[in-house]
């Protein structure tokens, strides 16, 4: 009898309550993605060498690769500042 009432209660709740997606982020959210691409000018490093700064995207909650908040650096050969 208890099981029957529980199932009936579950069915009634499923009719009344709407189903919605949880909206959780994909596991890769915030991780770097895509290849590095040059962004603007270089800068002088603390070691006295000239560096280029490159940008790289991050994964969003939808799984897309966007943004430019991750940096990659490359030392410019022969350039001393």
Give tens-digit pLDDT for 60-70. Answer: 898 899 877 76
Measured CA to CA, the distance from residue 23 to residue 60 in angstroms comes to: 12
- Domain spans in the chain, listed from the N-terminal domain onward: 29-76
Instruction: Report CA-CA distances (Å) from 70 to 11, 24, 36, 56, 66.
Output: 49, 23, 9, 5, 11
Give tens-digit pLDDT for 25-49. Answer: 888 888 888 888 766 668 898 889 8
């Amino acid at each position: 009898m208890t099981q029957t009432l529980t199932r009936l209660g579950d069915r009634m709740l499923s009719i009344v309550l709407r189903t919605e997606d949880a909206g959780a982020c994909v596991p890769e959210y915030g991780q770097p993605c895509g290849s590095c691409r040059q962004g603007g000018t270089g800068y002088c490093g603390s070691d006295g060498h000239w560096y280029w700064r490159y940008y790289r995207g991050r994964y969003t909650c939808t799984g897309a690769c966007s943004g430019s908040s991750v940096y990659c650096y490359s030392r410019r050969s022969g350039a001393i500042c």
